[in-house]
Structure 1
């Protein structure tokens, strides 16, 4: 755990941090066909949208008045992702100044979780610039039902480790794809109104938008915007948020986008064969 966690902690803060992620921890290539559309929350084709005139089919924790129970919605999302699998794609862009020094982060993340969370491929990459210094990070993970393998590359050094998929690491596997705690914190940081309820390829999708002036999360934040689209089952389809933090010594702009699509099959990567086992306690 000591080998991988420093890098994981850094990326968690960069990719999923900021005003809502600051209260939450972190949570490749794959081939195959999507799961049966009849049993998933996501369409397999570009949706044709028809706006409903009457609101109906709200997700758990949501009513005509907006989000009433963020935890219930986040749990429904997590349960859907774990049961049916998902492909998560996420990007974060950060630009600003700290003590008159430019700071920028460009990060991306992909997690592919199969149904019932039996296998995972998860990759995170980030480029961070502080003044004239630039650092790059590349992390990759593969998990089956018993083992988690990590490949961490920093400053040209590559470390490949394998460990048992204990209850601790199982939570990391589930969080990598669901980001349920990020969903929960994001929806808890502001009041959300129902901006739209639409039929998309035979399912009801609700669009939630953060109301101006209601942000109550980590400070100092001078501007906050967020939009979340959710299927009737509670599966979050997309989450976009942006905010600006400002102090006497810094001003930073964050933009974070997450999207969930249907699950695909996952194959064990070749680099996992080079892993060195670590003790169960690590």
Structure 2
């Protein structure tokens, strides 16, 4: 069904869901080998809590850029609209090689209105060392564009490391260590932050869980934000997982 949802509403949802561009993130030092675990806890984390968000994020960024990853993201964002509420639901998969020399992201998202209207769009991007190619649209309205490699660092930073999402989630919240165990030969620490703030308009809820290896590489993130717990109109849910890198072949539409 074709939607009559205002373009500005759709655009706002896409920004909140992370479908727009990202600020460039400076490169950190590369690691060439796995270090021997001197501590079961990741950089920036002690036996009870996160003590340095910047240290943890730098370690995740370095390890992910070195090893590559397959990143899967599901998210839902609900906002008020003139006709009630609109909800964006999206699923994206990003595959990258070690060293992030080739990256391929595929994303499909739908925007649902209370009036039954639906907007469905598809967005895919392939990046190698020389260019970034993007295929976007819906139905027969599909376009393919090519950008120079100078924009590559922005794309990689946002889509593979998800450093912007992680920084927004971890900053300003009290993440506590709730578990440390062994998985697939690695020590994994589980961090949890659960916060409720009462305001004149109601209450705000923040609930997040982060699983991170002792190297600092984050394995998963689950976060729910509700700026007004009395209604679903301001609810955001995101789940992200990072797994081992794979080979990446150019899609058929990439030159």
* Structure 2 equivalent of residue 119 of structure 1: 102
Residue pair 1:77, 1:234 contacting (<8 A) in 2 also? yes
The equivalent of 2:15 in structure 1 is: 13
CA contact (8 A) 2:85 2:233 kept: no
CA distance in 2, matches of 1:11, 1:236: 26
What is aligned with 1:172?
155
Question: Cα 1:104–1:124, aligned 2, differ >3 Å: closer, same or farther?
Answer: same
Q: Is the 8 A contact 1:93 1:105 kept in 2?
A: yes
- In the alignment of these two chains, the number of paired residues is 233
Matches of 2:176 and 2:208, distance apart in 1: 11
Structure 1 residue 271, shift from structure 2 partner: 1.0
- Does the aligned pair in 2 maintain the 1:112–1:120 contact within 8 Å? yes
- SS, match of residue 60 in structure 2: helix
Q: Which of 173, 177, 183 matches 1:194?
A: 177
| Deviation per residue, 1:173-222 (Å, 9 max, x gap) | 2321110121122111310100001111221100000043489xxx9961
Contact kept? 1:100, 1:250, Cα under 8 Å? no
In the superposition, relative to structure 1, how do residues 269 and 129 fare at CA in structure 2: closer, same or farther (>3 Å)?
same
Q: Does residue 163 of the first structure (1) align with residue 165 of the second (2)? A: no
Q: How has the CA–CA distance of structure 1 residues 171 and 96 changed in structure 2, closer, same or farther, with 3 Å as cutoff?
A: closer
Q: Which residue among 104, 112, 129 is the counterpart of 1:145?
A: 129
Q: Which residue of 2 aligns with 1:110?
A: 93
1:59 to 37, 42, 46: 42
Separation in 2 of the partners of 1:79 and 1:128? 35
1:251 equivalenced with 2:233 (yes/no): yes
- Give TM-score, length-normalised by structure 2: 0.80
Q: C-alpha deviations, 1:45-95, integer Å up to 9, x for none?
A: xxxxxxxxxxx5110111123111111111111111110100000001234
Q: Which runs of 5+ in 1 are unaligned?
A: 1-5, 28-38, 42-55, 274-282
* Partner SS state of residue 208, structure 1: strand
Helix, strand or coil for the counterpart of 2:247?
coil
> Unpaired runs of 5+ in structure 2?
1-7, 25-32
8 A Cα contact 2:208 2:222, kept in partner: yes
Find the counterpart in structure 2 of residue 226 from structure 1: 208
Aligned residues of 1:40 and 1:262 also touching (Cα < 8 A): no
Please tell me whether the aligned partners of residues 99 and 249 of structure 1 are also in contact (alpha carbons under 8 angstroms): no
Residue correspondence of structure 1 range 125-140 to structure 2 within 5 A: 125-132=108-115, 133-140=117-124
Q: How does 1:260-275 map to 2 (within 5 A)?
A: 260-273=242-255
Superposition RMSD in Å: 3.2
Q: Which moved more, 1:227-236 or 1:108-117?
A: 108-117
* C-alpha distance in 2 between matches for 1:152 and 1:142: 12
